[in-house]
Amino acid sequence: MPEPLRLGIAGLGTVGAALVGVLQRKHDFLAQRCGRPIVIAGVSARDRTRDRGLDLSGVEWFDDPVALAQSAGIDVFVELIGGDEGPAADAIRAALRSGKHVVTANKALLARHGVELARKAEDKGLLLNFEAAVAGGVPVIKAMRETLTANTIQRVYGILNGTCNYILSEMEATGADYADVLADAQRLGYAEADPTFDVEGFDTAHKLAILTSIAFGCRISVDDIYVEGISNIASADIQAAAELGYRIKLLGVAQRTDTGIEQRVHPTLVPLEAPIAQIHGVTNAVAIDADIVGRLVMSGPGAGGEATASAVAGDIADIAKSRPGHQQAPALGTPARNLTPYKQARMRAHAGGYFIRLSVNDRAGAFASIASRMAQEGISLKSIVQHGTSAAKEDAGQAVILVTHTTTESAIRAALKNIDVDGHLVSRPQMIRIES
């Protein structure tokens, strides 16, 4: 019988415990599919006394994940600790130095150090697999870096955070305000006690940075992503969008432009008939526009122990199936030494339609003045609708909804600045991009 693939698993939280369960339940099935057994040789976690409901008898315990990563008793180091620095980063670097393949679900670490780690792995002929780092159980990484190798990708975008998608879905379904739905999400365990990383778009940005590198063959550049979250989305925006034939989603979007690569994370109006508009709850979805295959849309569970463990197990199985001397696809799709520098597009030059909600003083000539200011910036209005009183409890202005034809963000911002100077606004305007 072929030699088993020996794993060292660092981190026995929700995902780590689920992975151990999957590997134990599926031991014989995986051995048959991979051509060799996969065994857990060592584990590391902060508390060895905690009852995780796992049978770890015969498995060596390491208090230090770096020691596990360097152990001669493992072939693959599986990092499920989390964090972009500290033990996770130290242990992965140690594993690569020691000649161990690495599997990780750590999006934050990859967004910061992915290029460095990919190069270290490739220089040693090792595999660095991270399917679970983006979109949970949706196999988008493998599809982009292997299946779509012959394609030139023009745009990749998607719903990459289940917490935000759940909140927006519930706001639409119930008519409740953001704060109330967030509180429910926290009670249900869909949102953290401090939800900032999710709801302000940073989690999505980390995942988008990884997808951007694979899609366009450039170095990861998470700090160059334009980021807006969903905390300023009101139920009035959800309602008005629905009446106009749209649904609001938090999207991460990366695309080629004439000025470079545009990366942005923000709430977006998408047509109700678009496939991505049909993604509800904690589900994730990724759409890829490419020259040969056209548009490819994948969706599935974006988080949770079992879904993430499925992706991690798939990465492990790929290593089990590999043979010495047969190098698989580079970690980021393009060899790390060939990745091009990231060239950031001018965000303010982004062109598209816009949804604008204004709370306007109820005075003669206000609407005409607003339309005039829009026209001065060359903005053509597709529709203008008055909604009576504003949804904001602290003001009593008239709610006015504008939908523009394709224009630039710089023009919209200039027009809104002038409208504010004219004294027509009761509160800060709401501006949401429309994605075709």
pLDDT, tens digit, 9 for 90 and up, residues 68-99: 999 999 999 999 999 999 999 999 999 999 99
Q: Identify which of 274, 272, 276 has the alpha carbon closest to the alpha carbon of residue 251.
A: 276
Which DSSP category does 425 fall into? B
- How far CA 162 is from CA of 22, 67, 283, 299, in Å, comes to 23, 34, 6, 12
From the candidates 100, 107, 120, 207, which is the catalytic residue?
207
User: Is 218 in a helix, a strand, or coil?
Assistant: strand
- How far CA 416 is from CA of 115, 227, 311, 378, 427, in Å, comes to 40, 20, 45, 13, 12
The architecture in CATH of the region 350-434 reads 2-Layer Sandwich (3.30)
User: Which fold would CATH assign to domain 5-137+305-336?
Assistant: Rossmann fold (3.40.50)
Tell me the C-alpha distance between 303 and 350, whole Å: 31
Q: Domain-by-domain residue ranges, the chain?
A: 5-137+305-336, 142-300, 350-434
Q: Give yes or no for a contact between 66 and 87, defined as CB atoms under 8 angstroms apart.
A: yes
Q: Give the pLDDT confidence of 9-41 residue by residue, as tens digits.
A: 999 999 999 999 999 999 999 999 999 999 999
- How far CA 125 is from CA of 103, 140, 149, 332, in Å, comes to 14, 23, 20, 14
User: Which fold would CATH assign to domain 142-300?
Assistant: Dihydrodipicolinate Reductase; domain 2 (3.30.360)
Tell me the C-alpha distance between 176 and 182, whole Å: 10
Name the one residue in this structure whose structure tokens are 């053509």. 380
207 counts as catalytic: yes
Tell me the C-alpha distance between 277 and 323, whole Å: 42
Q: Identify which of 57, 56, 52, 64 has the alpha carbon closest to the alpha carbon of residue 14.
A: 52
pLDDT along the chain (436 residues), means of 10: 92 94 96 96 89 86 96 97 94 98 97 97 95 94 94 96 95 95 91 93 97 97 94 94 95 92 95 94 95 95 89 96 77 95 75 88 83 92 74 65 90 92 89 88
287 forms beta bridges with 157, 297
Contacts of 418 (CB under 8 A, 6+ apart): 373, 376
Alpha carbon distance, N-terminus to C-terminus of the chain:
55
Q: What is the pLDDT of residue 70?
A: 97
Q: Give yes or no for a contact between 377 and 414, defined as CB atoms under 8 angstroms apart.
A: yes
Which DSSP category does 146 fall into? I
Q: Could you write out the DSSP letters of every residue in 286-343?
A: EEEEETTTEEEEEEEE-SSHHHHHHHHHHHHHHHHH--TT-----TTSS-GGGPBPP-
Whole-structure pTM value: 0.91
- How far CA 127 is from CA of 60, 123, 152, 194, 320, in Å, comes to 24, 10, 24, 35, 11
Sheet containing strand 38-44, edge to edge, reads: 60-62, 38-44, 5-10, 76-79, 101-104, 128-129
Q: What is the pLDDT of residue 1?
A: 64
Tell me the C-alpha distance between 364 and 52, whole Å: 68
